[in-house]
Every structure is written in C-alpha cells, then in structure tokens.
Amino acid sequence: MKDYLVGIFHIEEKKPVARVGEIAAILGVKGPSAHVMVKMLAGRQLVKHEKYGYINLTDKGREIAVQLKNKDNTIKNFFIKYLGIDEKTATEDAHKVKNVLSNETFSRIKNFIFFLENRPDHKEINIPEEVNKFIKEQ
C-alpha cells in the first residue's frame, strides 16, 4: 500500500489527478491489481476514487506519502553520501530498506546524519574515502 501512496503522490506532482493505468505502470503491476489496491486505499480514506477513474490522495494519504518519500530520500542520500554507493544501487536499496526499517532504526540513522553534518570538521572530510580506508585496514 505504501508504494501505491508514493506512486500516486509522484503522479499528482505532475498532474491534478491519477488514474489506475498510470499507477499500474509506475508500479509495474497489472491494472486489476492496481484497481483493487486503490479501492482498499479508498476504504481506508487514504485516497478519493471518483467516477471515471480519477484518484487523488486525501490529506491523510498525502501526509503518509510525504513521510515515505522523505524516508526513502534520507536513506538513499545516506547510502550515496556516506557509504559511496552509486545512485542507481542506492535508489534501489533505499526503496527496499525503507519498508523494513523500524522507526527506531530510521530515527537513529537521521540522528547519525545530523551528528555527522554538524561536526566542525565535516566539510573537510570525505566520508566514503574514510570508510573505505577503515575497511582496508581491517
């Protein structure tokens, strides 16, 4: 369901409404599967599903989608910036990891990033290089 909310959010960033076919295409699923999930989301009041297939996030659905997108971006950027992972791999892995990380673990990752970015020497160090150097020394 989370992927559907984020998918609809991405569509709404470009258009006023989403349609089942667009959602299915973004998520790589069949139209009937997307239709069933949209009905479930509507039942939970996370989307409005109107006649002729128009779909919009409710305020509650949009709030969840934004949180998920921010979580995904935070993890992806952590992988790229601090672990030196290429963007394609980081994007794929962040998408997978965000769905299984507990709120506690994610909160600690955010706190760790905050800690690193507020160190006085942060601008002068290259974290991926330092990590690789540390790994080679082990």
What pLDDT, in 10s, does the model give residues 65-115?
Answer: 999 999 999 999 999 888 888 999 999 999 889 888 898 999 999 998 888
2-57 adopts what CATH topology?
Answer: Arc Repressor Mutant, subunit A (1.10.10)
Please determine, for residue 61, whether its predicted confidence score (pLDDT) is greater than 90: yes
pTM of the model: 0.77
Our CA angle for 101, 63, 111, nearest 5°, is: 40
Q: What is the mean pLDDT of residues 46-66?
A: 92
Count CB atoms within 10 A of the CB of residue 79: 20
Domain spanning 67-137 has what CATH number?
A: 1.10.60
Domain range annotation of the chain: 2-57, 67-137
